[in-house]
Amino acid sequence: MDSPLTLEPLFHIGPVPITAPVVVTWAILVGLAVFAAVSTRHLKLTPGKVQTVLELFVTTVDGQIRDTMQRDPAPFRALIGTIFLFVLVANWSALLPGIEPPTAHLETDAALALVVFIATIVYGIAARGMKGYLGTFAEPSWVMIPLNLVEQITRTFSLVVRLFGNVMSGVFVVGIVLSLAGLFVPIPLMALDLLTGAVQAYIFAVLAIVFIGAAAGESPGRPTSEQGETSS
C-alpha cells in the first residue's frame, strides 16, 4: 500500500501530472452529472420516487442552512449541497474494489477546504461589505485580530485534517486488516467506514455552513414562512 501522503502520477497531460484522486474525482463528477441530468429531466408536480428523494435531499439541505444561518438558503444551497454530495460519494467510493477515495488524500480535502475558505470570504464581503467583513476580525476587540486571523487559518486546516484523518485512517485500517486477515474480515470495518463517511460528509457540510454563516452574519430578517415550509 502506498503512503497516503505521497501521490504518484498515473499519466501526464502535457506538463500536468494526473494522479489517481483526480481520475476518481472525474469519474465521480461524470457520474453525478449524468445522474443529475437524467433524474431531473422530467420533473413533475406529482413526484416519483427518485424525484421525491431529490426533493427530500434539497429540502433537508435548505433546512440545515436555514436553521444554522437564519437566512434564505438559496444562495448557499448549491455550494453546501455539492460539498455534502461530493464528500459522501467520494468517501463511499472506497466500497468499490481497487478504488481509493479522493478524500483519503490531502490534496482533495485541501481543495474542498480552500473552496470553503474562499466562499467564507466572498459571502462575508457580499453580506457585510469589505469594511464590515474586515471589521469582524476586530470583534469583540481589536486585541482579538491576531487570534481571529489565526482562527481563520486553523479552522480551515482543521477541516482538512479532520476529513483526511478519518477517511485515510479508515482506508488504511481496512487495507491493513485485509492484508492480515481473510477476504471477508474487513467487511464490518467497511460498514463502519460507510457510517464514518456519511458522518464526515455531514460534518464537513455543517462546518462549511457555520463558517460561511459566521462570516455573513445573521440576516436582518428571519426567513419567510414559505422558506420555513420548505424545510418541513
Partner 1 sequence: MTIDWWTLGLQTLNFLVLLWILKRFLFRPVSRIIEERQAAAHAALDEAEAARREAREVRDAAQVEAERVAAARSDVLAAAQQEAEREKSRLLKEARAAADTALAEGAAELERVREAQARALAEDAAQLATDIAGRLLARLPEVARPTAFIDGLAEAVADLPDATRAGMGADTPLRVRAAQDMAEEERNMLRRRLGEVLGHSPKLTFEVDPGLVAGLELVGPHAVVRDHFRADLERIREELSRHD
CA dist., res. 124 & res. 134, Å (int) = 9
**CA–CA dist 17, 22 (Å, integer):** 10
Q: Which residue, 137 or 202, is less far from partner 1 as judged by CB? A: 202
20-to-85, 104, 169, 185, 199 alpha-carbon distances in Å: 20, 11, 18, 26, 24
Q: CB 91 → partner 1: shortest distance, Å? A: 15
Write down how long the chain is.
232
Task: Give the shortest CB-131-to-partner 1 separation in angstroms.
Answer: 28
In the bound state with partner 1, the residue whose beta carbon lies nearer, of 29 and 181, is 29
Inter-axis angle of helices 187-216 and 74-92, nearest 10? 160
Give the residues lining the site for partner 1 (CB under 8 A).
5-7, 16-19, 21-22, 25-26, 28-29, 32-33, 36-37, 39-40, 43-45, 47, 51, 54-55, 58-59, 62, 74, 77-79, 81-82, 85-86, 102, 105-108, 110-112, 114-115, 226, 229-230
Looking at beta carbons only, is 55 or 139 nearer to partner 1? 55
**Angstrom distance (rounded) from CA 74 to CA 65:** 9
Nearer to partner 1, 25 or 68 (CB): 25
